[in-house]
Structure 1
Amino acid sequence: MKKWYAVIGDPISHSMSPSMHSKWFSDLTIDSTYIPVQVKKEKLADAVHSLKSLGASGWNVTIPHKEAILPFLDQIDSSAQLMGAVNTVVVEENGTLTGYNTDGIGFVNSLEEAMGLNLKELPILIIGAGGAARGIAFALKEQGYVNLSCANRSFSNAQRLITDLTSGRALSLEQAEVELGDFKIIIQTTPAGMLTTNVNMPLSLKNVTSSAIVADIVYNPLLTPFLAEAKDRGARCLNGVGMFVHQGALSFQKWTNRKPDTKQTIEQVEQILGGPHVNR
């Protein structure tokens, strides 16, 4: 019987996950398919039940469901439990729903692939405190990054992330803006800059230094307003294409036990979107 997978979120029309996973299935001659499913917040429980009842073998989870889906799963991987967010669900052979988070390590893989391995001592600012921010923060810490700070519109949410992380600093956006020159890696994790949103920039980059690495996990458009300002100020910029591909590849491996070609996929996504994912 042909297996099928999905990505759920709201909005979902912008997602390139279906084309990416479909190509991997084709490349590796796996008889499976992958579809996008738009799910409103109030319909998440119904959607999880329906996906399982209709025979999905697994699915990805994107905004705004990464944290909200946890109560509807049977078990959660220990790292995803710490992060408080899930982006990958595996339907086990006995029907058990297991949640994982591949976002964080996907970002770290992308960062190190693009910018090198000698980054672990650098001061890092994470902007945002939602599911993506938590995934990245915990993955960075697990990989040996030691100097993490978080700034968020709601200071209490930033403080909660740092408390759960058991290390680092929580800042208001205003404080982070003032201290921006002290950070060597700045990671923007909010929806600001997505083609499907009208969210304003979370903070000004007027104090960023030209030696800083500025990342935005949004991958469409390639050059978000946040990255455009960082680029104008001479910073090295990294958009979300690498993270998108690497996190997807880790999900794919959990479903199929097969490893897709990430380097080729990054190049293909870049070509579709019109440019490189690294702007030096």
Structure 2
Amino acid sequence: MSAFAVFGNPIKHSKSSEIYALFAHEIGISKEYKLILALHDNFHYLLHNFFKLGGLGANITSPFKENAYFLCNQLTERSKKARSVNTIKKLKNGTLLGDNTDGIGFISDLKRLNWIDNNNHITSQESTTTNILLIGAGGAAKGIVPMLLNTITTCHINIVNRTFARAQKLTSYYQEIGYNNISCLPLYKLRYDTNKYSLIINATTSNIYNTIPKIPSVLVNPETKCYDLFYTKQDTLFITWCKKNGSNYCSDGLGMLVEQAAHSFFLWHNLFPTVDPVINHLRSALYI
């Protein structure tokens, strides 16, 4: 029986076991980590059985992060704010602690890229307020919003989504729990938006469908940081579009993937692994 696993659907493409193995080798830990394909009908049973049979920790990926939230006995503050769980640790008393490392993984990658300075400002921005455009209002967006609002000094997040009602729902939730520096806008109204965005984040699944979010090119300038939570062998379509429209600062989500896994590893083992060699290894492997 594996001590650690990741649950998701689909799951074959997951890099989690490879990342864990690289972290474990560095730290000197020998624990098996496996991929578990789950369905909505059996996710609860598979997760419960995994821990019953000796599992110590689990990662949860799409589409089960919100389900996992309700299956934990205890929750970290960041998972409560995200209302989703991507990491579970079995405590010594047998109860399950749920955490969400997506947001802290994203912030950690922005720092790795030197896009955040020591005062928690986006680097090279001209205005005193950091305007952030978040494209997408699904699970990926939910995981990163609270950490952005808690970390970036004097920031304001504007959410746009193909379905405006979802953007409104997500915005209302964060406003209700005390965040006033977040708003939303119908996608078509972006053409009239006069905000200058320091950071634009693509949290949609548009790359899967070979499309890009329909945002005005005028929002991008040479200093605009453009981040795609998705990653591919070459530049994602979104990054290609951002570069074409002048951005000198673009990154895909591979770094975030490794960073959030490192924070999961820390939760389980109380040891923080080195991320750069793992990011470089995975990046190189994409081209093989």
> Equivalent residue for 1:245?
258
- Inter-partner Cα distance in structure 2 for 1:55 and 1:178: 56
User: Residues 1-280 of structure 1: matches in 2 within 5 Å?
Assistant: 4-114=3-113, 115-117=115-117, 118-119=121-122, 121-145=129-153, 146-166=155-175, 167=180, 168-176=182-190, 179=193, 182-193=196-207, 197-198=208-209, 200-210=211-221, 211-235=223-247, 236-274=249-287
* Alpha carbons of structure 1 residues 222 and 91: separation in structure 2 relative to 1, 3 Å: farther
- AA of the residue aligned to 1:245: V
* Structure 2 residue matching 1:266: 3-state secondary structure: helix
* Structure 1 residue matching 2:283: 3-state secondary structure: helix
* Structure 1 residue matching 2:226: 3-state secondary structure: strand
- Inter-partner Cα distance in structure 2 for 1:191 and 1:267: 24
* Structure 1 residue matching 2:50: 3-state secondary structure: helix
RMSD (Å), alpha carbons: 2.2
Residue 165 of structure 1 and its aligned partner are, at CA, apart by 2.2
Deviations 1:93-144, CA, capped at 9 Å, x for gaps: 2221111011001101111221242318321011112222112110011113
* Alpha carbons of structure 1 residues 181 and 209: separation in structure 2 relative to 1, 3 Å: farther
More off after superposition, 180-189 vs 61-70? 180-189
What's the TM-score, normalizing by structure 2? Answer: 0.86
- Inter-partner Cα distance in structure 2 for 1:110 and 1:232: 23
- Inter-partner Cα distance in structure 1 for 2:232 and 2:191: 25
Deviations 1:162-216, CA, capped at 9 Å, x for gaps: 22322211122222365387322111112222xxx33633324533322311101
More off after superposition, 144-153 vs 111-120? 111-120
What's the TM-score, normalizing by structure 1? Answer: 0.89
- Inter-partner Cα distance in structure 1 for 2:191 and 2:212: 12
- Inter-partner Cα distance in structure 2 for 1:222 and 1:116: 25
- Inter-partner Cα distance in structure 2 for 1:39 and 1:79: 25
Contact 2:198/2:224 (CA < 8 Å) preserved in 1?
A: yes
- Inter-partner Cα distance in structure 2 for 1:255 and 1:106: 15
* Alpha carbons of structure 1 residues 76 and 272: separation in structure 2 relative to 1, 3 Å: same
More off after superposition, 197-206 vs 156-165? 197-206
More off after superposition, 199-208 vs 34-43? 199-208
- Inter-partner Cα distance in structure 2 for 1:3 and 1:9: 16
- Inter-partner Cα distance in structure 1 for 2:202 and 2:12: 22
- AA of the residue aligned to 1:184: S
More off after superposition, 115-124 vs 130-139? 115-124
* Alpha carbons of structure 1 residues 232 and 6: separation in structure 2 relative to 1, 3 Å: same
Contact 2:17/2:35 (CA < 8 Å) preserved in 1?
A: yes
* Structure 2 residue matching 1:69: 3-state secondary structure: helix
Contact 1:82/1:164 (CA < 8 Å) preserved in 2?
A: no
- Inter-partner Cα distance in structure 2 for 1:222 and 1:39: 30
Residue 237 of structure 1 and its aligned partner are, at CA, apart by 0.7
How many residues are paired up? 271
Contact 2:191/2:216 (CA < 8 Å) preserved in 1?
A: yes
Stretches of structure 1 lacking an aligned partner (at least 5 in a row): 276-280
Deviations 1:17-58, CA, capped at 9 Å, x for gaps: 111101111221112111111212332222222222232111
Stretches of structure 2 lacking an aligned partner (at least 5 in a row): 123-127
Identity of matched residues, %? 30
